[in-house]
């Protein structure tokens, strides 16, 4: 089994790298920070074959070649995990539009390109799995996360729409909706608010989420919502919207740009 995993240098991606290695799955690990990827690879090497690829997924035109090179290195990709992501938490009017557009490129357009490249190889083989790491903010679009909520809702919609289309071709799609998970991204998001917005709410950990994703791949489950309590957002979208509209905290303004 060969898994191409983006965003493997930190947080949830790092958790998946470890948990997938424990299952004996070979890994192509992608992120920008080579040193962090090497650190993750060093902690799992020996158990499985690991291919470290330092790349910026925002370089969309390079992604098809990245997938081809990964297959040349470790063989056909059985699982693509679209996990790399960035987040902006700030009053929307204060966000530089170029930063918002870059977020959409990383969180949405890169998964589109990688999925396209993977499907072109998986469909002729009649097998493969695409895993899309969306977010609870796709089910509960969040004030102060304008671009992020949009990118994750669009990724979830794309992922859910793809499943039935490619199932007859042997390709499985898993859509993942993590709630707050203790990672560097979540820490930065919490720090953007005057008070911790997750206080009193369920917060998950990367390892448990990674185990659930591995199980979803193995058992061909359609989606993962973790912590599980947030499944309520999917069951009751109208009530969720009302709660978000009336009780969401407001993030602090971004510090003024330097220079």
Ligand X SMILES: NC(=O)c1ccc[n+]([C@@H]2O[C@H](COP(=O)([O-])OP(=O)(O)OC[C@H]3O[C@@H](n4cnc5c(N)ncnc54)[C@H](OP(=O)(O)O)[C@@H]3O)[C@@H](O)[C@H]2O)c1
Q: What residues line the site for ligand X (CB under 6 A)?
A: 6-13, 31-33, 36, 56-58, 83-87, 106, 133, 135-136, 178, 180-181, 183-186
The nearer residue to ligand X, 12 or 153, going by C-beta atoms, is 12
Active-site residue (options: 148, 177, 226, 230): 148
Q: Tell me, yes or no, if 146 is annotated catalytic.
A: no
Write down the least CB distance from residue 169 to ligand X, Å. Answer: 26
Buried b (16+ CB within 10 A) or exposed e, 74-112: beebbbbbbbbbbbbbbeeeebeeeebeebbbbbbbbbb
Quickly count: other Cβ atoms within 10 Å of residue 171's Cβ. Answer: 22
Write down the least CB distance from residue 168 to ligand X, Å. Answer: 28
Write down the least CB distance from residue 1 to ligand X, Å. Answer: 21
- Please report, for residues 13, 17, 105, 195, 258, the alpha-carbon distance to residue 23 in angstroms, rounded to integers and kept in the order given: 15, 10, 32, 39, 47
Distance CA 14, CA 39 (A): 10
DSSP one-letter code for 220: T
The nearer residue to ligand X, 59 or 164, going by C-beta atoms, is 59
Distance CA 68, CA 63 (A): 9
What crossing angle do the helices spanning 11-22 and 34-44 adopt, rounded to 10°? 30
The nearer residue to ligand X, 1 or 31, going by C-beta atoms, is 31
Write down the least CB distance from residue 80 to ligand X, Å. Answer: 14
The nearer residue to ligand X, 124 or 184, going by C-beta atoms, is 184
What residues are annotated to the active site?
148
């Amino acid at each position: 089994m060969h898994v191409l995993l983006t965003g493997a240098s930190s947080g949830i991606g790092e958790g998946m790298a470890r948990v997938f290695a424990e299952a004996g799955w070979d890994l192509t690990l992608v992120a920008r920070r080579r040193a962090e990827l090497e650190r993750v690879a060093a902690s799992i090497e020996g158990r499985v074959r690991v291919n470290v690829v330092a790349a910026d997924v925002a370089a969309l035109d390079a992604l098809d070649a990245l997938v081809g090179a990964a297959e040349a290195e470790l063989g056909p990709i059985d699982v693509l995990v679209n996990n790399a992501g960035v987040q902006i938490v700030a009053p929307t009017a204060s966000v530089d539009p170029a930063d918002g557009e870059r977020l959409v490129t990383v969180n949405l357009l890169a998964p589109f390109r990688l999925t396209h490249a993977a499907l072109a190889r998986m469909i002729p083989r009649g097998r493969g799995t695409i895993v899309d790491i969306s977010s609870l903010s796709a089910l509960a679009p969040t004030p102060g996360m304008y671009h992020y909520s949009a990118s994750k809702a669009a990724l979830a919609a794309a992922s859910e729409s793809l499943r039935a289309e490619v199932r007859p071709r042997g390709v499985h799609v898993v859509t993942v909706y993590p709630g707050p998970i203790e990672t560097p991204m979540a820490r930065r998001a919490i720090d953007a608010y005057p008070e911790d917005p997750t206080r009193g709410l369920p917060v998950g950990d990367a390892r448990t989420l990674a185990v659930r994703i591995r199980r979803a791949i193995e058992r061909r489950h359609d989606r993962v919502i973790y912590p599980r309590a947030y499944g309520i957002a999917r069951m009751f979208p109208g009530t969720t919207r009302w709660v978000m509209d009336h009780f969401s905290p407001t993030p602090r303004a971004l510090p003024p740009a330097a220079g």
